[in-house]
Amino acid sequence: MDFDFNSIWFLLAGLSLFLFGMYIMEDALKLLIGRSFKKFLHRFTKYPLPAILTGVSITAMLQSSSMVILLVMSFAGAGIMGLNNGIGVILGANLGTTFTGWLVTLLGFKLNIELIVLPLLGGSGLAFVFIKHTRINQIFHFLLGFSLLFLGLSYMKDSFSAIAQNVDLTILANRPLILFFLFGFVLTALIQSSSASMLIFLSSLSAGIIDYQQVMYLVVGSNLGTSVTAIIGTIKGNTIKKRIGWSQFIFNFFSSGMALLMIPLYYKLIVHHLRMDDPLFATVTFHSVFNLVGIICVAPFLKYFTQLIIFLVPEKSQYQSKFIVHVNPQETHAAIQALHKEVLRFLYQSISVNRKMMHIEHSPIPHIESYMHLKSYESEITSFYRKMVTPVISEQEGVLINSLITVVRNATLSVKDMKDISHTIDELSNSGNDTKYSLFIEIRQKQQRFYSDIQRCIDTDGLLNDKSLKIFESQIKESHLSENQQVITAKDDKFLDLPSLFNLIREISNSNESILRSLTHLMLYIDEFDK
């Protein structure tokens, strides 16, 4: 291949195929591993050494330390895995990710890739399209990603060879080696894949663009750069997820710092004592060895390393409540007033979640996550309520407290009804069928008015009364009947999923009725409090 712009396109195409292939592999593995993988991970991470070995083996299998790290963060955040054992898996993942370099070196540069990959790509691609059996389809899904990954490697190897033959390499001759470390860090942080970075470095080394000493600095920089994925994963995470993410960064900072200081020693060991003349094997050996040394240095002190992480990432308040958290539930008068404020806040948040599910407000948070967040908030309020209910409270205080907790229960039910049909709402909002889309627009407009009227009724003294509640009740019934009639009289009913549409209308009506019951009990509280 002569060097021209085609070489650049081959390079970019190869990198794209490699990353896309890795994405397909990860996507397939997420479907393949399922419940059995999660049970395996939980069972074999109870103690530090098995946790480290699990991290090594799982990362070598999945070909993505980033995926394993984010998975561990999710498991730890859900309470399935403890912090100490989660950090053990993270340590092992750093060694497991070096398997990619060995795979690329042994197969990618020693074999004619296209002789193997093209038949595999053709066979797995056709099988993925035509075989519908779920499990088998997922296996071919994985093989398709695997073959694309190595086809991308072939393109990149050829493009680097062409570039090496036509580019003046003297511009790299006297550059400070620390710049190679920084380049490796930035590249990996940007493309979010140490495997792809390693591919680029090995291809450049194979083509003669860089030498072995320079690639050592690139590899160390890449090793630290892969920690950025974990740091990104801590954004908006709970405390334990933040601790897992930062433990990855701190460990990599330590092991990469040690590797930088010991590069001359590693160079003598690998080149002169082990007599590795092949720079590709020498590079992947260096990558594995300095990660192994880092694990050996930290593993015996894993307990103290965990304590350091806990100190650096302190526990933050897990409470979502704003008013009741600072009040003693046994001080009944103050507790009731705080509970009233908290219940109003909860009611506002419930309506806000409903508005987001109806696409009235935009939210990047998935619907199920918003619902679980609200359920957690409800649990805090309910726990406070239980502490308030004691034999010493008066009958009036009991009525007030029960009225407020009933507001919370009905508001939660309203959100649950909307959550259960959120997928249908999403489908209608993007439907190409005019009847479906028109129904969505009509429902959204009615719900927008309903929620606005509800909030105005809560905010304005004197508006919450029997008359306003009857008006809301009439609106709910009228909307339910008119929307049902719109579906019944639709001319293109053959193209409509009628049971889903009727269920949608019923659940929205149920949700609104739950909000109305919340208002009823809020009014009961106000009436009783004023006596």
Please, which pLDDT band fits residue 184 given cuts at 50, 70 and 90? confident
Give residue 329's identity as a one-letter amino acid code.
Answer: P
316 by Cβ neighbours in 10 Å (0-12 / 13-18 / 19+) ranks as exposed
The residue-averaged pLDDT of 135-142 equals 82
Tens of pLDDT, residue by residue over 244-302, are 888 888 998 999 899 899 988 988 888 777 777 788 888 888 888 898 998 999 888 88
**How far apart, in whole angstroms, are the C-alpha atoms of residue 275 and residue 266?**
12
Residues 6+ apart with CB under 8 A from 295: 52, 91, 92, 94, 95, 255
pLDDT greater than 90 at residue 515 = yes
Please, which pLDDT band fits residue 80 given cuts at 50, 70 and 90? low
Q: H or E stretch including 396?
A: helix 395-420
Reduced to 3 states, what is the DSSP secondary structure of residue 331?
coil
Considering only CA atoms, which of 489, 473, 483 is closest in space to residue 506?
Answer: 483
Domains belonging to the chain, first-starting first, are 5-312 (no CATH), 324-529 (1.20.58)
CB contact at 8 A, 219 and 287? yes
The two three-digit tokens of residue 24, written as one number: 């397909």
Give residue 60's identity as a one-letter amino acid code.
Answer: A
Whole-model pTM?
0.52
State how far the alpha carbon of 530 is from the alpha carbons of 102, 400, 525, in Å: 76, 11, 9
Region of 208 (left: φ > 0; alpha: ψ -120 to 50; beta: rest) is left
Please, which pLDDT band fits residue 506 given cuts at 50, 70 and 90? very high
Tens of pLDDT, residue by residue over 208-237, are 778 888 888 988 998 888 787 667 666 666
Considering only CA atoms, which of 463, 477, 464 is closest in space to residue 513?
Answer: 477
- Within 10 A of 479 (CB to CB), how many other CB atoms are there? 20
pLDDT greater than 50 at residue 2 = no
The two three-digit tokens of residue 244, written as one number: 């897992």
pLDDT greater than 80 at residue 178 = yes
Q: H or E stretch including 155?
A: helix 134-166
Please, which pLDDT band fits residue 488 given cuts at 50, 70 and 90? confident
Helix axes 332-357 and 367-388, enclosed angle (nearest 10)? 170
Residues 6+ apart with CB under 8 A from 65: 59, 93, 94, 96, 97, 194, 226
The two three-digit tokens of residue 471, written as one number: 């008006």
The residue-averaged pLDDT of 85-90 equals 84
Tens of pLDDT, residue by residue over 352-367, are 999 999 999 887 777 7
